[in-house]
Structures are given as structure tokens and as C-alpha cells.
Chain A
Amino acid sequence: MREKKKMNFIYRLFLAINSTYLIIVVYLVKKDYYFNFLENYAHYFSWLIFILTPIVLTAISFLVLKFLSSDSLNKKSVVEVELANNSFLPTYLGYFFVSLSIDNIPTLCIVFIIIYVFTFLSQTLYFNPIFLLFNYNFYFIKTTNNVRIFLITKKLLRKPGEDDFEKLKRINNYTFIDIEKIKK
């Protein structure tokens, strides 16, 4: 139990990093940073590595999922489904403008830490758009008990009551991720 709790905490730290890391990437690209060992190549290669880093980290985060506590949700209990795929956009545009207007590394560190801490504490905002690259979708779901949860799943939900969710993992009390493979 203690291990599981620790795992959950680390996982949440990790998710928050993945979803805010793009701030750093945008800053590095804007300032024309590149890896020393790639100085003989076009800077695009270095930037590609910057961009791939959060993607790889997100891929790793899927491996940690099985250590989280399991949950389930009946299809009959879903009363409302709302697609939230695009709700990260305003937040992300905000992040981008912030990092584009930052001039130096110390400011970047402070801004990043502030955004990171609040993303972590806000709990409901683990929007990591990189999940979209892995075919995940974001939904707000309301259950018959009037509980609203944030669900990350590969399933395409259009209306309530179509799919059971038997293999959910609890990220926190409001955020769940579905690890079931979709049948083709």
C-alpha cells in the first residue's frame, strides 16, 4: 500500500513534468540552443531531440500505469460525455507566449517552477497533449452519482452508455486513465 501510494505520487510528478515540459522546449528553440555534439549538423536535429524528449517521457509514463490502483465504471452509470481534447489549447497557447517572451534562463526556471507547481496541485489539469499522439482522447464524464471525472481513454465516445470501462487506473480522485486495448 505504502509503495503504491509512493508510486502514485511519483507518477503524478512525472505527468505534470510531461505536460509542462513544452515550455522549456519552446524556449530552447527560440533561443537557438543546440547540442554541442550536433554542432556540425543543422539545428533542426537538436530541436528534434528537444521535442522528442517529452514524447519519450510520456511513453515511459504508460509503463508505470500498471502500478496504480484499479477502478471500474459501468456504461449504465455514464450520464454525460464531453470531449475535452481541445481544452488544453488555451492553456498551451498561454505557455507558448510565456516562453516566447522570456529572455533568460533564470526567468525560465522561475516561471517553469511556478507553472509546474500549480499544474501539479490543480490535479484536474494533467492535460498532456502528447497523449493525443498516442491515440488517447480526453473526456469529462458525469456519472449517475453526479460525480464528474476526467477520463483519458483510447475509446471514441460520442454518447453516454456505449462502453464499459473495466480497466481504469486512478491518477487522482478526479482523473482516470483507461488502459484497455481497443478492439478493432
Chain B
Amino acid sequence: MTFLLAKIKRKTNLLKVLSSEDDIYTYSDDDKYKLPTLDNSIEYNPATLLEDEQWYKYEKFSASEYIIDFLTNDFDSVNYSQIEKDSLNKIAYLCSIQGNVYYFQIISSSLVIRGKWFSLDVLEIETNRPIITINKYADVIFDKSNDVLYFKRLSNANSIFKGMDQLYREATETETATFLSNDFLSMKNNFNEKLVNVPNRKRIASVVDTLRKYPDDKKKQILTYIQGYNLVPFVNNSFEIDSEESLKLVLYGLEQRLFTTEIDKEQKIANSTIDIHVRK
């Protein structure tokens, strides 16, 4: 038995939408709504970009601070009231409960069809009967038996589990300003913290923590390492930052993403990295 629940904006309790004998997200190949391959998933790390079929995973999710009661309690549909028609306009996300697996789908306005429509079976125009379409893949999946949360985008997981974006937060304007005022950076062309965009702010947030832990000699070592790649002019003991691009390259350097291939000695930048021990 599959139950479809809905979370209404600004309400804590979920509501029951429907129950069905058929799974909403299924395994069979001919079904459009098939399950993604979750085996191909990697521990969440902002430094790693996903391939098409890959998912991020968060293991032991029930022990994390982001878990919600709805997932820890045993699921009993009798605890949830039936959704009323006027709430259907205010759905934040849907959750399909299929055995021990919870499939979440964020409801954006693009999934709600308010205009006229007709079904391919019954060729009649329907008006004022808005419908909600269900995506091929769920946005976030929680496998309760293994206690693992799967997601493709942290922002989606964050809209269900508030605070998860702390896993990969952006640096605030003050933090950005503090970072840019480091001795090893000098601003050129009036470049300042106000011009730093979101991806670079995220990189700053994660670099700042690592940098703080470094002893002085290690800091010196990493600066020499970045200079070695000659990507950003290094004048008077500081990198000259004149654009987002040069800032990004220095940040990549601080994350040690600049490397030379072992055999061919080609210089490269890793825009996505995976720890080798995690992969195993």
C-alpha cells in the first residue's frame, strides 16, 4: 500500500492525499516513474559534482540534527487527516511512502497545471480542475531501513529538512570581506566583496575553515604551490584579484584542486573531486 501525503506551507502536520495499491515511483522499466539507481551514490561533499545518474547520500540521517519526527516515527496513515480542496493550492512538497522508502517531491508552480487541459483518453476540455503532475524522479529519497537520505540538490533537501544548507553554506558579506582582506590577496580594478557571486561565496565558506586550521608554514607552502601554476599574478607577496575568475582560481588553489598529471605532466584544474577512500 502506497500513501501519498502532502506538506502544506506554514503548517507542521502533513495531510493524507490518497492511498493506492500501486506504487507511485516504481522499478519496472516500461514505467515512466522508475526508481533511480541509488547504488551509484556518493557521500555529500560540496567539492563533488554529480554525474547524471548519481545521487548524493547522507548516511545515518536519523542521528543528524535535520531529521523530522515524521521520519523517525512509525508511519500510520490514520494519524493524518484527509487534505481539503482549499489546501491543494498550498502544497510545499509531496511524500510517497512505499514500504520503508519515503519519496519526496518539491511542488513548484511548474508542476501545477491550472489552465485548461484534456486527457488523451477522454477528449474533453477540463476547466477549473487544476492538476498536479509527478516527476519521473523524486527530489529527495529517504531509505528508512538503511537510514540513508539521497538527494541530487542540496537546496531541495534543505526545503524539506530545514538547516541542511549549513552543509554547504555561503559566506556572508562580512566573511567574504574578511577573507578578501587576507595579506596574500590584493584587490585590483575596484574588485570588492559586493561583487563576489554565490559559487565563490560557497567556496570561501569552505576554504575559510580549512585555512584557519593551517599552521603558518603550511600556509606558506600552499601559496607557493598556487604560484607554481602561474594562473594569477603574484606581486608583493599577494595575488592580484581583479575578477571573479581570478578569485575562483585562487580558491581552487587553496582547496588544492590544481594538479599535474603523474605521467604526462599536464597541468589541470579539478572542478569536482571525490576522496578516494570514500569511493571504495
**A residues engaging B (CB < 8 A)?**
1, 69-74, 76-77, 143-145, 147, 149, 165-166, 168, 170, 172-173, 176
Residue from B19, B73, B74 in contact with A71 in the complex, judged by beta carbons closer than 8 Å:
B19
Give A147 to B79 CA distance when docked, in angstroms: 6
Q: Which residues of B contact A149 (CB under 8 A)?
A: 78
Nearest-neighbour CB distance to chain A for B67, whole angstroms, equals 16
Give A69 to B5 CA distance when docked, in angstroms: 13
The range of chain B's interface size is 10 to 19
A-B interface, 8 closest residue pairs, ranked by CB to CB distance from nearest: A71-B77, A70-B19, A173-B81, A145-B79, A147-B79, A77-B76, A73-B76, A73-B78
Q: Assess the A77–B74 pair: CB atoms within 8 A.
A: yes
Indicate whether A176 sits within 8 Å of B78 (C-beta atoms), given known contacts A70-B1, A72-B1, A144-B73: yes
Q: Which residues of B contact A74 (CB under 8 A)?
A: 74-76
Q: Assess the A145–B1 pair: CB atoms within 8 A.
A: no
Q: Which residues of A contact B19 (CB under 8 A)?
A: 69-71
Nearest-neighbour CB distance to chain A for B16, whole angstroms, equals 8
Nearest-neighbour CB distance to chain A for B193, whole angstroms, equals 48
Indicate whether A143 sits within 8 Å of B76 (C-beta atoms), given known contacts A69-B18, A70-B1: yes
Contact flags B72-89 to A (C-beta < 8 A → 1, else 0): 011111110110000000
Q: Which residues of B contact A166 (CB under 8 A)?
A: 1
Residue from B18, B73, B76, B82 in contact with A72 in the complex, judged by beta carbons closer than 8 Å:
B76
Residue from A69, A70, A143, A172 in contact with B79 in the complex, judged by beta carbons closer than 8 Å:
A143
Nearest-neighbour CB distance to chain B for A138, whole angstroms, equals 15
- The B interface, classified by DSSP as helix, strand, loop or mixed, is mixed
Q: Assess the B18–A145 pair: CB atoms within 8 A.
A: no
Nearest-neighbour CB distance to chain A for B23, whole angstroms, equals 14
**B residues engaging A (CB < 8 A)?**
1, 3, 16, 18-19, 73-79, 81-82
Known: A71-B78, A73-B76; 20 extra A-B contacts, CB below 8 A, are: A1-B18, A69-B19, A70-B1, A71-B16, A71-B19, A71-B77, A72-B3, A73-B77, A73-B78, A143-B78, A144-B73, A144-B76, A147-B79, A149-B78, A166-B1, A168-B77, A168-B78, A170-B82, A172-B82, A173-B81
Give A77 to B19 CA distance when docked, in angstroms: 19
Nearest-neighbour CB distance to chain A for B128, whole angstroms, equals 12
Nearest-neighbour CB distance to chain A for B102, whole angstroms, equals 15
Q: Assess the B76–A145 pair: CB atoms within 8 A.
A: yes
- Chain B residue nearest to A166 (CB atoms) is B1
Q: Assess the B74–A76 pair: CB atoms within 8 A.
A: yes
Give A73 to B3 CA distance when docked, in angstroms: 12
Q: Which residues of A contact B82 (CB under 8 A)?
A: 69, 170, 172-173
Nearest-neighbour CB distance to chain A for B8, whole angstroms, equals 15
Nearest-neighbour CB distance to chain A for B171, whole angstroms, equals 40
Give A112 to B233 CA distance when docked, in angstroms: 92
Give A71 to B78 CA distance when docked, in angstroms: 6
Give A143 to B80 CA distance when docked, in angstroms: 11
Give A70 to B18 CA distance when docked, in angstroms: 8
Nearest-neighbour CB distance to chain A for B82, whole angstroms, equals 6
- Chain A residue nearest to B129 (CB atoms) is A2
Q: Which residues of B contact A71 (CB under 8 A)?
A: 16, 19, 77-78
Q: List 26 A-B contacts (CB under 8 A).
A: A69-B16, A69-B18, A69-B19, A70-B1, A71-B16, A72-B1, A73-B77, A73-B78, A74-B74, A76-B74, A77-B73, A77-B76, A144-B73, A144-B76, A145-B73, A145-B79, A147-B78, A147-B79, A149-B78, A165-B78, A166-B1, A168-B77, A170-B78, A172-B82, A173-B81, A173-B82
Q: Which residues of A contact B81 (CB under 8 A)?
A: 173
Q: Which residues of A contact B1 (CB under 8 A)?
A: 70, 72, 166
Give A168 to B79 CA distance when docked, in angstroms: 12
Nearest-neighbour CB distance to chain A for B241, whole angstroms, equals 55
Nearest-neighbour CB distance to chain A for B262, whole angstroms, equals 56
Give A74 to B99 CA distance when docked, in angstroms: 12
Give A11 to B28 CA distance when docked, in angstroms: 36
Nearest-neighbour CB distance to chain B for A65, whole angstroms, equals 14
Q: Which residues of A contact B73 (CB under 8 A)?
A: 77, 144-145
Nearest-neighbour CB distance to chain A for B122, whole angstroms, equals 13
